[in-house]
Chains A and B, each alone.
Chain A
């Protein structure tokens, strides 16, 4: 009898340990892959925000001084209008109100900064799309504009922005691809973990079938186990995304100048929340699909 108890204890603990390591492996894989997915989306959103001003062929931005007079603004407007300057395709004027709205949007998570500035402090600006993307021509246009009275600064950054965008989209695509592979691996790991769990409980399953438990009654606990593993992996990934969000916030607060080429690499709290919910859903899906395949393939009744 002592031998039997000893044997049972040994079998149970080794079973548990084997399942524990496998469970841990699948949870960690889900966590790593989802953390990569989340980071890629955070970076993508941040890049989109920081380059939002450069949409639609905007090649340079003429910032007026905050106290520039109406005549000075009109003079710049006249020199930039497509009617008088054939090299310019389109120009958009950003008044103080729009500038203040954009400023509030960029620094929405920094109320102190928001309170320190008012609408009157905002510089107005012209976003200029030239007809041709010739760097020499554009730099001579920039030099001309900088000399006009009331102009605070001309930010010229089209090439830099485009390079930055291309690089970041390449990086995030590579990260996403890797993450998808890892996610597939995580699904397979969960499938195997559940298969092991079913093997460990095969006597119970046999009895359940024998006395007439329905297929779903037998399947659901295993699918819940898979779901729990997916969810357990998604939670650390969400934490990682929030850490990244905070880091981006503190890194971009030092560059609080709205006339820089790139604005702060910020992400709004709403976007981070959306990404997190997405990660939780994907984690649960991976768990349910992995365990679902396991129960339908290895639990035929």
Chain B
């Protein structure tokens, strides 16, 4: 599903964020990216949905070299990749329902599809009672559920999560991880960058560890360290 071949990313001023990374992630896998701040986790996530382009190497998503993708096709790549972030990125003036519906509206899904899909996905994330609330009326964990609902409502092949539990307390984080696990069991490939030792150690999934831009460990059913 995702293949990295010798991928490097250098920012201005000789800052190397990623150095010769190789990895192969199969369809339906659940992968943790771990490592200290600045080790290249977020860069790797951003490269996967072409928010950035690698300085060297090739990235294949669903068999296609995304470096070859012309810029007008990038939106169609992103429709197959859901994204979840530490800071949720919800629109503060839209209700929970509208936030999720927005993701379908802007890719031109018809109204009747939106009307049936959005309540279904909000039910899945356990927020069917808060559809008319605004984001600031929700707890952090609930806001992250909205953002997961938005990322998943279009049933993408891949879900990228950049420290989705970074702003949440341990108990709430467990709920979020259950939700991501549930999504993964449906066949969606999940790649999650995290600092959270407890989560990685309990879930025992594949772990890719980065250090100063290099992959130093790739272990199935791994632990944080």
Q: Report chain A residues within 8 Å CB of B102.
A: 204, 207, 211
C-alpha spacing A215/B83, complex, angstroms? 18
A256 proximal to B (CB < 8 A): no
Contact residues, A194-220 vs B (CB, 8 A) = 203-204, 206-215, 217-218
- Tell me which of B83, B91, B103 contacts A203 (CB under 8 A): B91
Question: When A8-B92, A210-B89, A211-B106 are in contact, do A1 and B75 touch as well, CB less than 8 Å?
Answer: no
Contact residues, B34-51 vs A (CB, 8 A) = 49
Verify B89–A301 contact, CB threshold 8 A: no
Quote the shortest CB–CB distance from A81 to chain B (angstroms): 74
Verify A1–B136 contact, CB threshold 8 A: yes
C-alpha spacing A259/B18, complex, angstroms? 89
C-alpha spacing A217/B103, complex, angstroms? 13
Q: Give the residue name and chain of the A residue nearest to B104 (CB).
A: A211
B78 proximal to A (CB < 8 A): yes
Q: Give the residue name and chain of the A residue nearest to B50 (CB).
A: A301
- Tell me which of B76, B83, B106 contacts A208 (CB under 8 A): B106
C-alpha spacing A217/B89, complex, angstroms? 20
Q: Report chain B residues within 8 Å CB of A297.
A: none
Verify B72–A204 contact, CB threshold 8 A: no
Q: Give the residue name and chain of the A residue nearest to B150 (CB).
A: A211
Verify B78–A211 contact, CB threshold 8 A: yes
- Tell me which of B71, B78, B93, B136 contacts A212 (CB under 8 A): B78
Q: Give the residue name and chain of the B residue nearest to A203 (CB).
A: B91
B77 proximal to A (CB < 8 A): yes
Question: When A4-B136, A211-B150, A213-B106 are in contact, do A301 and B71 touch as well, CB less than 8 Å?
Answer: yes
Q: Report chain B residues within 8 Å CB of A213.
A: 75, 106-107
Q: Give the residue name and chain of the A residue nearest to B137 (CB).
A: A1
C-alpha spacing A211/B72, complex, angstroms? 14
Verify B136–A207 contact, CB threshold 8 A: no
**How many cross-chain pairs have Cβ atoms below 8 Å apart between A and B?**
57
Q: Give the residue name and chain of the A residue nearest to B108 (CB).
A: A217
Q: Report chain B residues within 8 Å CB of A206.
A: 89
Q: Report chain B residues within 8 Å CB of A204.
A: 91, 102
Verify A210–B79 contact, CB threshold 8 A: no
Verify A214–B136 contact, CB threshold 8 A: no
Verify B72–A212 contact, CB threshold 8 A: no
Contact residues, B96-112 vs A (CB, 8 A) = 102-103, 106-108
C-alpha spacing A203/B87, complex, angstroms? 12
Give the size of the chain B interface in residues (CB under 8 angstroms): 24
Verify B78–A210 contact, CB threshold 8 A: yes
B154 proximal to A (CB < 8 A): yes
Quote the shortest CB–CB distance from B96 to chain A (angstroms): 14
User: Which residue among A207, A209, A215 has the maximum number of chain B CB atoms within 10 Å of its CB?
Assistant: A207
Q: Report chain B residues within 8 Å CB of A209.
A: 75, 78
B113 proximal to A (CB < 8 A): no
Q: Give the residue name and chain of the B residue nearest to A213 (CB).
A: B106
Verify A211–B103 contact, CB threshold 8 A: yes
C-alpha spacing A166/B166, complex, angstroms? 76
B124 proximal to A (CB < 8 A): no
Contact residues, A212-237 vs B (CB, 8 A) = 212-215, 217-218
C-alpha spacing A204/B72, complex, angstroms? 19
Quote the shortest CB–CB distance from A12 to chain B (angstroms): 8
C-alpha spacing A301/B51, complex, angstroms? 8
B74 proximal to A (CB < 8 A): yes
**Interface membership of chain A positions 172-213, coded 1 if the CB is closer than 8 angstroms to chain B and 0 otherwise:** 000000000000000000000000000000011011111111
Q: Report chain B residues within 8 Å CB of A203.
A: 89, 91-92
C-alpha spacing A204/B91, complex, angstroms? 7
Quote the shortest CB–CB distance from B62 to chain A (angstroms): 14
Verify B89–A207 contact, CB threshold 8 A: yes
Verify B83–A210 contact, CB threshold 8 A: yes
C-alpha spacing A116/B72, complex, angstroms? 69
Quote the shortest CB–CB distance from A90 to chain B (angstroms): 65
- Tell me which of A1, A8, A212, A301 contacts B107 (CB under 8 A): A212
Verify A211–B89 contact, CB threshold 8 A: no
Quote the shortest CB–CB distance from A226 to chain B (angstroms): 20
Verify B72–A215 contact, CB threshold 8 A: yes
17 A-B pairs besides A203-B89, A215-B71 with CB distance below 8 A are A8-B136, A12-B93, A203-B91, A203-B92, A207-B150, A210-B89, A211-B79, A211-B103, A211-B150, A211-B151, A212-B75, A212-B76, A212-B77, A212-B80, A213-B106, A214-B75, A301-B75
Q: Please list the residues of chain A having a beta carbon within 8 angstroms of any beta carbon in chain B.
A: 1, 4, 8, 12, 203-204, 206-215, 217-218, 301
Please list the 3 inter-chain residue pairs (A to B) with the smallest Cβ-Cβ separation, ordered nearest first.
A212-B79, A212-B78, A213-B106
